[in-house]
Amino acid sequence: MSIMSVSERLSALRFAMKNADIDAWIVPSADPHLSEYLPEFWQQRVWLSGFTGSVGTVLVTQEFAGLWVDSRYWEQATVQLSGTGIVLMKLGEEGVPSLNMWLVNHINEKSRIGFNSLMMALKQARQLEKDLAMLNVDFVSDTDLIADLWQDRKALPNAPIFEHTPPFVSQTRAEKLALVRQQMQAISADWHFISSLDDVAWLFNLRGADVQYNPVFLGHALLSQQEAMLFIHDGKVNSELVQALAKDGITIRGYDEVANVLQQLPKQDSILVNPDRITLGLSHYGCETVIEQVNPSRLLKSCKSAADLANVREAMEQDGAALCEFFAWFEKALSTGETISELTIDEKICSARAKQDYYICPSFATIAGFNGNGAMPHYRATEESFAYIKGNGLLLIDSGGQYLNGTTDITRVVPVGDVSAEQKRDYTYVLKAMIQLSKAVFPRNYPSPLLDTIARTPLWQAGLDYGHGTGHGVGYFLNVHEGPQVISHRAYTFPYTEMKEGMITSNEPGVYRAGKWGVRIENLVANVPAQKTEFVDTLKFETLTLCPIDTRCIEPDLLTQEEKNWLNNYHNDVYKRLSPRVQGEALDWLKLRTQAI
């Protein structure tokens, strides 16, 4: 971060805009790969605004500065934007215009709108152009005003790349390349350009550490039927790996060569790209024919093989054992009056996971929110702002790990001291929602957003709801947030969201009372076959996550007998699978917390 204040950064940007004759400047949360988690080098929105959430877009004019962000971050943004001069624009709230519509209503005809073309998706740029067409604006996307202002900007990461190898992978590079090329051939695509880091990592069975929490590396890929090029920075692969890649027909090119290579492709050829997953700055090709579809790898990697799922089940047992150790420590420390903060929670959970085989790193920043902090779905304690765990209330812990054999993501809420009747009511209704979705049966290729209603119905009936989605796809030793499936009624228009066998998805309904407490209970589930009849071919969810759900927060009278049976059966399975992996105080804790209700 720069030593300048946010107001000073805004002033410097406005001065640069004036000199460049630019009327409005847009700063997305993005990099050339459109990643969710960005290397510090590309965190321009954070540098400019001071808002540290993972999403959000800033718009700056000479008279106005605003941050557009969804409901997950409203409380956090309110705090972090205070005194900066940046207005919080609550994306999705009634009466709040989108960024594009704000521009339509506030800028003049023939204004000049600027942004970095390497930080905006091709699809997003097209929508901006369409929405502002009536104003005849000029777009300035070939410059980067902030780059010249950010004097202490970190360099791009350059961590080594390593292979993801058997027994943790079930398909070779050659097999994955053949599957993608088969789909290219089916649509007559001579070339396929890939910028999304998880797609590149999956396709080549490679992993890295360039992006925090995601085992990926900075790189682009370009495929034809005969060759495959991997564009990465020098020094990221050793000679042995270069030779292994060469055996599969993969050549290494410089990271900065990609734009030039794309522009020199044969005019008569065709190229396949996904406009959601490439930037405007890398959308210029020598080919005259451009085919726009979802990346084949995006769909292929979402469906884990039977061998992958077997590995994930073992990773879940490892993760569950680590959590038994953590919660046994936590309850003992709490009872003996040990000083515990939200930061301590993160430290102890990561320490417990690090003892497990195949553990690499956290899969995202641990969310440990006590009482009011738990009401912010994406809260993160910092050295400057955190709470101690003392008194009475609810502690929400959302955490996960990256293992060579899988990616985990789990949320549990535990009581601290006395729990009120209202807190138990909220907790129980969230549990009912999670159980109802866990029991769902649905046809193959059923649109995942439509499953959202199953989880929300118990909450809606009780007058409750939550602002985030109910479920996101999860990668296999890859990004903890992975598509294309998503369980959210707000995503019903999204393409390619059909549920297929082998997909792993989170199940995480919640209830949040601002300034008071938050409840979210999350398990990961896998799509597995249910039954096939003359009428339907259905899938169901196998619950993968193994960790007790704290029954001390439950109001039993609100659960049906069927819901109690589900919980008791789940706890029986948790005990059966985790007990051989833990001992001592962790085993004692596991026995206690899996007792039937």
Contact partners, residue 331, CB within 8 Å, separation at least 6: 589
Q: Which domain holds residue 234?
A: 162-297
pLDDT tens per residue, range 108-119: 999 999 999 999
Domain membership flag for residue 154: no
The residue that leads in pLDDT, 159 or 73, is 159
Report how far apart the first and last C-alpha atoms of the chain are (Å, whole number). 51
pLDDT tens by residue, 255-278: 999 999 999 999 999 999 999 999
The answer to whether 278 and 195 are in contact (CB under 8 A) is yes
**Domain match, 112 and 171 both:** no
Model confidence at 3, pLDDT cuts 50, 70, 90, reads low
349 in the same domain as 398 = yes
The CATH number that applies at residue 418 is 3.90.230.10
Same domain for 262 and 389?
Answer: no
A 10 A CB-CB count for 539 gives 23
CA distance 520 to 394: 11
Among 272, 297, 322, residue at a domain's last position: 297
- Is there a single domain that holds both residue 428 and residue 552? yes
484 shares its domain with 377:
yes
The answer to whether residue 132 is domain-embedded is yes
Based on the domain organization, do 68 and 128 belong to the same domain? Answer: yes
Q: What is the distance between the alpha carbons of residues 46 and 37, in angstroms, rounded to a whole number? A: 12
Mean pLDDT of 476-505: 94
Strand (E) positions, 106-164?
A: 112-114, 138-140, 162-163
pLDDT averaged over the chain? Answer: 96
Same domain, 206 and 328: no
pLDDT for 380 beyond 90: no
Instruction: Name the band, by pLDDT with cuts 50, 70 and 90, for residue 385.
Output: confident
Bridge partner list, 207:
162
Any domain includes 1: no
- Confidence bin at 581 (pLDDT 50/70/90): very high
Do residues 128 and 268 share a domain? no
Within-domain flag for 157 = no
Query: With b meaning 16 or more CB within 10 Å and e meaning fewer, what string describes 462-494?
Result: bebebebbbbbbbbbbbbbbbbbbbbbeebeeb
Average pLDDT on 440-453 reads 97
- Determine, yes or no, domain membership for 271: yes
Q: pLDDT class for 517, splitting at 50, 70, 90?
A: very high
In this structure, the answer to whether residues 113 and 189 fall within a common structural domain is: no
Residue 454 lies in a domain: yes
Q: Which of 70-74, 175-179, 347-351 has the lowest mean pLDDT?
A: 70-74
Look at residue 2 in the predicted model and tell me its pLDDT. Answer: 41
Residue 42 in any domain: the answer is yes
CATH classification of the domain holding 70: 3.40.350.10
pLDDT digits (tens, 9 = 90+) for 179-195: 999 999 999 999 999 99
* Per-residue pLDDT at 471 exceeds 90: yes
- If asked whether residues 144 and 166 sit together in one domain, one would say no
**Of 94, 124, 149, which residue is a domain's last?**
149
User: Do 563 and 432 contact (CB within 8 A), yes or no?
Assistant: yes
Question: Which of 244, 270, 297 is a domain's end point?
Answer: 297
| Region 452-478 average pLDDT | 97
**337 and 358 housed in the same domain:** yes
Q: Give the pLDDT band (50/70/90) at residue 377.
A: confident
* pLDDT interval class at 54 (50, 70, 90): confident
Contact 558, 428 (CB under 8 A): yes
CA 200/CA 195 separation, integer angstroms: 7
Per-residue confidence (pLDDT) for residue 1, from 0 to 100: 39
Domain count, the chain: 3
Rounded to whole angstroms, how far apart are CA atoms 438 and 566? 9
423 plus 535 within the same structural domain: yes
Give ∠ CA 12-18-19 in degrees, rounded to 5. Answer: 90
Closest by CA to 333, choosing from 418, 270, 390, 274, is 390
In a domain, 68, yes or no: yes
Task: Please give the share of the chain, as a percent, with pLDDT higher than 70.
Answer: 99
Contact (Cβ atoms closer than 8 angstroms) between residue 575 and residue 594: yes
Q: How confident is the model at residue 166 (pLDDT cuts 50, 70, 90)?
A: very high
